[in-house]
Structure 1
């Protein structure tokens, strides 16, 4: 796959600068490009040369579609049909715009795997205060503690004009996902023949500035609070995970607790990090696979390879349809690719290589992040022998009524075993995401876990 030389038309930065570990914020001249040649969060505003990627014009308006009484969004592009479909028979025509992991999926499932490719829409936008904070961050936010923390950071997108791979990854970790949200989602870990059972979660995700008792006069090292309660099956129901995610993870590492409903005990959970096992995931994901990638970046060296154009899952409204059953989505080997939508977008490619002396089941990760949202779209995972092992795809959608980019569904395919994990489905749930969820700091204390775990 060809890697385009990282030299934006706007002249943002030269590739030679990216190899250095720059801890300082960018110059005033660079900051001035945000909202001019660059979008407010640092993407190239212009389209590409052949017109297959359009200019960014602000994203979809809040009334781009309708919202039903359960909170599900209608597809703002209901009449569009695929421009073409990539299959195992024609994949060589498109391999320069696919990742090695995506190519491996065609090889692993030559009869069933496909990628319907649609017209590209740069649909994502953000609230004005988030855009304003991104510009402030560009001038003021710095990496500290060897790159394991941030200072002078506001809201989201600390490095809209990144100078190295670590800064790009921090954009993924801190990106805007709404100030607060409560969601009901399901997880499936199908067998190779497609049979599956479901695990149901209630997640609560809140940034400190959205807490009802937020006090701006009291600086906090908390990036966000996360609480996850298992609601089914019965053998797991009532188990609760609580995470305090921190900004400076050297000064204060991630704090996590687990409430075990069977034992009725709250315990510290240091294993909820790095390659600790993911909740009820049947060994198919690590803790830091959630949200495509999360947590402290200190175990890897991060190299910014450059920018390129690839086909990534995007505007996945049909996959989120409340008319679907989970059995319509989950199939043997992979999800139902007829329900997916891929578009050509520019992405940042970052390669994470495990540092000498550090431990992780993934020796290397190749990450591809959407330029308009800083969301990781595809991540290829390699084992200690250098073999491709797992391929993650994030089927994204833009919650246009709330101005929040996020994922419809995360998939993590094990191309060796033939199994996979799908997390985030909500098609059959009574309610979609509840943005604006009200919570206080007392809701995210270890003492609150026991109450949250009531079955």
Structure 2
């Protein structure tokens, strides 16, 4: 028995340490694999095409500052998935999306031709190739070392590596943007909250080395612009890489108190500020923060119908009331495509608390963006669905969500974030620095 236990222990340590891949496998990046690890070839049925570089340059009709014109506007839907023909498509739908279709008979999916538009700068591809040979998990999987840019584990060997690929994917160097969010209640009522947001990424920035990171991924700040009764309240976050070594730091300026307060914990199942209790801290961007409360399992790849190339809901001038219907986001504005995704399951560890006892993530093979999440309670009951509706920001280039949603099946309500149709477009060249993301800067802005 002791020998068996020792063997299991040694195996566990070996699996934990295993991260770097064989050079012959790393050499596949940019060859039969696309540079971030996805399969370059299409599928056997021809319904998923080969990746040919994605949208790495803007189309001819694009001008800086525009809401990105839809390069696939001429595409026609191949078919619709509805509650009536759901049985034909279950195998290619996340459980949460199946439930949404069943519970909301008026909802539908418009399925379009698959366009593999994900792209990133060449230096991110080069860094990813380096990472395949050098990056590794540390602190029991709660941190990553040996990487300063790019996907850390383009050939993932476990669920932790896959979720770190999402957390550490390229999203630009800095962004200044204005978006709106809304918690849509079961009655269909909602109030828009307009946020002025800024992000300064340290990880992924050109010229940064692993030593320069100092356990920091990025800096984030938002300020409430509307409604007037909340305007002026603000939040600053300093996002750490290994959040077990050092938790993320967050400060909030409350306009009524005119004081900056350090938030004791803005992670895991803490409620996101200004969301009416509709979203948890670790649900931002599909998933963020320390992975230590869950056991992660890499389930393999699957062909799934997922949100993709969501340019229609991104276009300038669309009234927000047209996007936000009473029970769901307007399906006429959404686009679904068939893509290969990595499926990762996260089960809550014994001794830890969280409203979600299990989550199933669907990660795009070309970008590592989380596209959908099935949400389960502690008893294993399906309780919700998250979706990220992405586009290729081809002026950078980078691939990321333009709209994020969380459906609460029990409460018959949903949360939507990212609506920017009537705001200035993202500025990926904003003049920002880490000095803009301190409690002192927050205090200055509030006065």
TM-score, L = length of structure 2:
0.94
Per-residue CA deviations over 1:369-404 (Å, capped at 9, x if unaligned) read 000110000001111121111100111100112111
Cα distance change on mapping 1:65 and 1:398 into 2, 3 Å: farther
The answer to whether the Cα contact below 8 Å between 2:160 and 2:297 also exists between their aligned partners in 1 is yes
The answer to whether the Cα contact below 8 Å between 1:229 and 1:452 also exists between their aligned partners in 2 is no
User: Does residue 439 of the first structure (1) align with residue 403 of the second (2)?
Assistant: no
State the secondary structure of the residue aligned to 2:354.
coil
Per-residue CA deviations over 1:167-194 (Å, capped at 9, x if unaligned) read 0000111111111101100001112232
Per-residue CA deviations over 1:2-56 (Å, capped at 9, x if unaligned) read xxxxxxxxxxxxxx99x94444311111111111111110000110000000000
RMSD of aligned C-alpha atoms? 2.0
Q: Which residue in 1 is equivalent to 2:374?
A: 380
State the secondary structure of the residue aligned to 2:184.
coil
Deviation at 1:240, TM superposition (A): 1.4
Cα distance change on mapping 1:234 and 1:82 into 2, 3 Å: same
User: Does residue 416 of the first structure (1) align with residue 406 of the second (2)?
Assistant: no
Q: Which of 226, 231, 237 is the matching residue for 2:220?
A: 226
The answer to whether the Cα contact below 8 Å between 2:65 and 2:427 also exists between their aligned partners in 1 is no
Q: Which of 66, 71, 76 is the matching residue for 2:66?
A: 71
The answer to whether the Cα contact below 8 Å between 2:124 and 2:204 also exists between their aligned partners in 1 is no
Structure 2: where are the runs of 5+ without partners? 1-10
Q: Which residue in 2 is equivalent to 1:153?
A: 147
User: Does residue 51 of the first structure (1) align with residue 46 of the second (2)?
Assistant: yes
The answer to whether the Cα contact below 8 Å between 1:181 and 1:437 also exists between their aligned partners in 2 is yes
After TM superposition, the structure 1 stretch with the greater mean CA deviation from structure 2, 260-269 or 385-394, is 260-269
Number of residue pairs aligned between Structure 1 and Structure 2: 436
After TM superposition, the structure 1 stretch with the greater mean CA deviation from structure 2, 261-270 or 402-411, is 261-270
Per-residue CA deviations over 1:321-375 (Å, capped at 9, x if unaligned) read 1131101100011000011100000000000011100111111100000001100
The answer to whether the Cα contact below 8 Å between 2:202 and 2:213 also exists between their aligned partners in 1 is no
After TM superposition, the structure 1 stretch with the greater mean CA deviation from structure 2, 264-273 or 285-294, is 264-273
Q: Which residue in 2 is equivalent to 1:450?
A: 443
TM-score, L = length of structure 1:
0.92
Q: Which residue in 1 is equivalent to 2:384?
A: 390
Q: Which of 337, 342, 358 is the matching residue for 1:348?
A: 342
User: Does residue 208 of the first structure (1) align with residue 202 of the second (2)?
Assistant: yes
Deviation at 1:211, TM superposition (A): 8.1
State the distance in 2 between where 1:219 and 1:50 align.
44
Deviation at 1:77, TM superposition (A): 1.0
Cα distance change on mapping 1:70 and 1:195 into 2, 3 Å: farther
Q: Which residue in 2 is equivalent to 1:309?
A: 303
Structure 1: where are the runs of 5+ without partners? 1-15
State the distance in 2 between where 1:91 and 1:212 align.
46
State the distance in 2 between where 1:150 and 1:315 align.
30
